[in-house]
Structure 1
């Protein structure tokens, strides 16, 4: 039983009516043109989709496979968007936001989103900080051997915190210096975990990815084992396609 239509994304160009893609609930994926915009969709077998890992990956895979087929410019729609009729899309999206949609397509034309996430071991960084600062290490070690006033404890804690912050900023600035010049736009997001110290998305030209990747690799080699880099070189441009 169909519960409506599940929407994946919007493209500025026409596409084959049926693509060799498998969507949600293993349904075939189709395209249709609504007021000049091409929508990628499949039949919805549920009124509401659980944001499970499997479903999220399926939604993303459809968009990435379409991009791999040569339809590179797209506006990805949020996960779980189910409609009953196309009139809903016309009334709530294409007519009231037509100019905004066209502006977003113009910004994304010929560009792709990549992302960099940097994670480090805070305990290892603390040991490296103490090894490089003998006075701080002595003060810190003294905390374990004698009773200290609250003021002394706070003072040492602030020194350690400031030292780690400087080491963190050194790493972050290296990424900014090497990567930002290749990007049309950069969005620095909040870290997702305590061990993550940098989380950024970049809007770059399609043909700039090879150089971007080389620069990420060079940074990784420069700092050795101090941190781990998660580099995603191919994803739908969610960060830079915000309509609202």
Structure 2
């Protein structure tokens, strides 16, 4: 059953899934579930357990309220267990479907992924140039670009259209070369503290790095210190946004197709 959005008062006729954990006993959680605020609990099959709550079988919009409800449950579970997060909005028809279509047939895969995440955390790092600084670097390092830029000063745009397009292309190429160099320089500083790295697409022209790191919990403090050291060394030209631990969506998100 599917509808376009959650409607208050819908019957909690399904099981909303938050994640998969390994658990020897049944567990209850304090954070209220999505939708109706039903109790969050586990459904077990041997060593595996799905973290669920009773909820309407509807399509859940990515509203702030729904995303916060989902995230708060995930955060509480992560504080107590190694977790494989399930994609937002995943709802099973009933408890039997959770066991027979997820936990039992995917047992070996899920246990292997839980083993990968054991005693590891995901941390995220974004690095962004200070715009004026990096543009001046491009001009200083590329005399041809500076000369072309200077030749356009004061000339009407309609008569210099193609030169301006060429200038934009050259600046873009120079920035991409510089971005790759800076990305590699950052990764080199952090490589020894990281188990796995996922590079996501940079957002906008100023972003140098958009990375997720899977890190041994014992190395988290060392990575924190390395990021602080980079910020101190490069703060004149780079800004850093460092977050975590967060659910390991970049490494082990579980997608379920009913």
TM range (shorter): 0.7 to 0.9
Q: Secondary structure at the match of 1:55?
A: helix
| Residue 191 of structure 2 is aligned to residue 180 of structure 1 | yes
Query: Normalising to structure 2: TM-score of the pair?
Result: 0.82
Match of 2:18 among 3, 8, 31: 8
Cα distance in 2 between the residues matched to 1:3 and 1:192: 40
The residue number in structure 2 matching 1:191 is 202
Cα displacement (A) at 1:236: 1.0
Pairwise CA RMSD of aligned residues?
Answer: 2.4
| Residue 102 of structure 2 is aligned to residue 93 of structure 1 | yes
The residue number in structure 2 matching 1:109 is 118
The residue number in structure 1 matching 2:252 is 241
Once the two structures are superposed, residues 48-83 of structure 1 have per-residue CA deviations (whole angstroms, 9 ceiling, x without a partner) of: 211112211221221112222x31x11111111111
Q: Number of residues paired by the alignment?
A: 241
Cα displacement (A) at 1:133: 4.9
| Residue 86 of structure 2 is aligned to residue 77 of structure 1 | yes
Following TM superposition, the consecutive aligned residue runs of length 4 or more in structure 1 with deviations greater than 6 angstroms are: none
Query: Are the equivalent residues in 2 in contact too, given 1:23–1:62 (CA < 8 A)?
Result: yes
Q: CA 1:161/1:191 → structure 2, altered by over 3 Å: closer, same or farther?
A: closer
| Residue 7 of structure 2 is aligned to residue 34 of structure 1 | no
Structure 2: segments with no counterpart, 5+ residues: 1-10
Q: Secondary structure at the match of 1:119?
A: strand
Structure 1: segments with no counterpart, 5+ residues: none
Query: Are the equivalent residues in 1 in contact too, given 2:45–2:99 (CA < 8 A)?
Result: yes
Cα displacement (A) at 1:207: 1.4
Once the two structures are superposed, residues 17-47 of structure 1 have per-residue CA deviations (whole angstroms, 9 ceiling, x without a partner) of: 3222222133322123134312211121452
Matches within 5 A, 1:1-244: 1-14=11-24, 17-25=27-35, 26-45=37-56, 47-68=58-79, 70-71=80-81, 73-122=82-131, 124-131=133-140, 133=142, 136-146=145-155, 150=162, 156-243=167-254
Cα distance in 2 between the residues matched to 1:54 and 1:7: 17
